Structure 1
Amino acid sequence: MKDKGKWDIYIQPKSNWFELRLLDVWKYRDLIFMFVKRDFIAQYKQTILGPIWFLIQPLITTIVFIVVFGKIAGLSTDGQPQILFYLSGVLFWNYFSSTFLKISETFLANTNIFSKIYFPRLVVPISVVLSSMISFGIQLILFVIIFTYYLISKDFYPAINSGILLFPILVLIMAALSIGMGIIISSMTIKYRDLRYLVTFGVPLLMYATPIVYPLSSIKDPTFIFLLKLNPMTGIIETFRYSIFGIGVLDIYTLFYSAFITIILLILGIAIFNKVEKNFMDSI
């Protein structure tokens, strides 16, 4: 029997639920980049407008919000231009929802690959997070362009503040939250297939429990405010809007709560993911 030290990769069962083996994941970084490229290119492959859809989709959503919630419902935007207010929420929600939904299909959508070849299964959700980050970056550029246009051409004086330095942290929390929740659902759908339909139905509803089409300051009932703050995305979006518009209050406790819940969900997700990964082919 050959000494295992002579092999580049030694495949063995995970010894505990929380074992990540990030070194193995790093060895497969080329595969991650290949998946990222595949996901990004394939998303709008063989479409007429191609990557322009990355810009059209948030713009159309924002326009619908302006008409429905701004003009018809007359919801407050705390005195900010409606297009910027809604787009700032859509920007973050699109990343979270799309990443979460894609990761929640990790096992079921990649059964054929997982059954034929070994590689660290975390490669797939990590690649989804990174490919979605490219889309997020493109849409962020769109937001910056519109924001700059209002600064130059309109009577618009946002109170940009030092909270903008928290932006990388907000993105990191959002990415970790989507991967944590995603791998939990992905692991559970192996046995409980109904979760797929529940998630598909529930994520759009969750958007209305997030201050995207309304500011948190417009809610007067303390009970509703408390319930909304239980949503970890609330602290992320409210902090971002405060940093670029200067509206509302930078509630550091709400942001800490978002980070804490994200860490808990990520740890829980890793544990369930590792447990299910050992024998998911038998369950499929």
Structure 2
Amino acid sequence: MSAPAPELMTPGKGRGLLDVFHNRYLLRLIVDKEIQIRYRGTVLGLVWSYLKPGVQFAVFFIALGVFLGLNRGLENFAVYLFSGIVLINFFSEIFGNASRSITDNGGLLKKIYLPRQLFPVANLFVAMVHFVPQIIILAIAAFATGWFTGVDVKQVLAIPVACLIIAVFALGLGLIFATFNVFFRDAENFVDMILMVATWASPVLYSWTMVRDQLWDWVYYVYFLNPITVAVELFHYGLWYPTVNDAELWHMPPHLLTIWTPIALVIAVLTMVAGDALFRRHEGNFAQEL
């Protein structure tokens, strides 16, 4: 007897992010390609992963820490500032590059079929390659200011949870805007505006207490519905807070672990599910539109 015919599938349609796990070899090739293209013709190569955040930190530290006096108002302001910068850079690289990943690879998509989700996910892994060196530098700075003597298990676990929230949320937004960008190139401008606002809409350059004390109560609650805000505060809780000598003075936001973190995880996951659904619905028209 002849073998049953395989189930037919609509061309250009896949199983969404599940296809990424079944095409790990292709994913690795795309990640390698993205890294090589990123540093092609450069002299410093991956050293830029250290240099860019270092210059960014120096500018903000001088402008905010020295000129505006936050260095005196926040204990170990350098660790506080750099921990926020590292995480917001992680978000910016995933979201920004994922949103452009389909249009940037339009020539390849018009020639062959492969799961389109590979390109946004590949940018997540490229961002992780750049994220790790920055984490190493941040960990060294935290150790130098007494992190090891003041840390507990919850604070250690807060670090990977913060990274998970950022990775899932940024990838979900990247899938949404990667889809919009194929049909409406104005989406890139919206992405640039979101990235510009994201740094100031989360406690990267200032303390969360400023929002609580100087704005309306409802703004405070909306502020903490932003997963980036929660992730940055978790990073502060895991890396900066153990270095603080006066824990009573520099306390963390109320209900950070019990309420805001679960809410942030749910919002991040729902964003990724919505992004994957939107992406899958329209990916069959990507090659035609490009």
| TM-score (norm. length: structure 2) | 0.85
Q: 1:276 to 1:77 in 2, by over 3 A?
A: farther
**Farther off after superposition, 213-222 or 104-113:** 213-222
Q: 1:14 to 1:158 in 2, by over 3 A?
A: farther
- Residue equivalent to 2:280: 274
1:203-254 deviation per Cα after TM superposition (whole angstroms, max 9, x unaligned): 1122111110012123313344223213210001101211233342361211
Q: 1:51 to 1:13 in 2, by over 3 A?
A: same
1:172 aligns with 2:169: no
Gaps of 5+ in 2: 242-250
- Residue equivalent to 2:246: none
**Farther off after superposition, 199-208 or 242-251:** 242-251
State the one-letter code of the partner of 2:280: N
State the one-letter code of the partner of 1:165: L
C-alpha contact (below 8 Å) 1:228/1:234 kept by paired residues: yes
1:256 aligns with 2:262: yes
Q: 1:78 to 1:14 in 2, by over 3 A?
A: farther
Residue 143 of structure 1, CA deviation: 0.9
**Farther off after superposition, 68-77 or 99-108:** 68-77
Q: 1:146 to 1:251 in 2, by over 3 A?
A: same
1:69-106 deviation per Cα after TM superposition (whole angstroms, max 9, x unaligned): 11222236863322211110011000101110111012
1:87 aligns with 2:91: no
State the one-letter code of the partner of 1:159: G
1:156-194 deviation per Cα after TM superposition (whole angstroms, max 9, x unaligned): 887323222132222122111111001101111222221
- Residue equivalent to 1:139: 134
SS in 2 for 1:186: helix
Q: 1:239 to 1:77 in 2, by over 3 A?
A: farther
- Residue equivalent to 2:186: 194
- Residue equivalent to 2:10: 13
Residue 66 of structure 1, CA deviation: 0.8
2:64 is matched with which residue: 63, 69, 83? 69
Percent identity over paired residues: 23
1:117 is matched with which residue: 109, 112, 118? 112
1:93-136 deviation per Cα after TM superposition (whole angstroms, max 9, x unaligned): 00101110111012211111111111111111111111111111
SS in 2 for 1:99: helix
State the one-letter code of the partner of 2:171: I
| Number of corresponding residues | 274
1:9-44 deviation per Cα after TM superposition (whole angstroms, max 9, x unaligned): x87228999x4362x433321111111122223322
C-alpha contact (below 8 Å) 2:16/2:277 kept by paired residues: no
SS in 2 for 1:140: helix
- Mapped to 2, the partners of 1:21 and 1:167 lie a distance apart of 25
Residue 202 of structure 1, CA deviation: 3.0
- Mapped to 2, the partners of 1:91 and 1:21 lie a distance apart of 26
SS in 1 for 2:70: coil
- Mapped to 2, the partners of 1:75 and 1:195 lie a distance apart of 35
Gaps of 5+ in 1: none
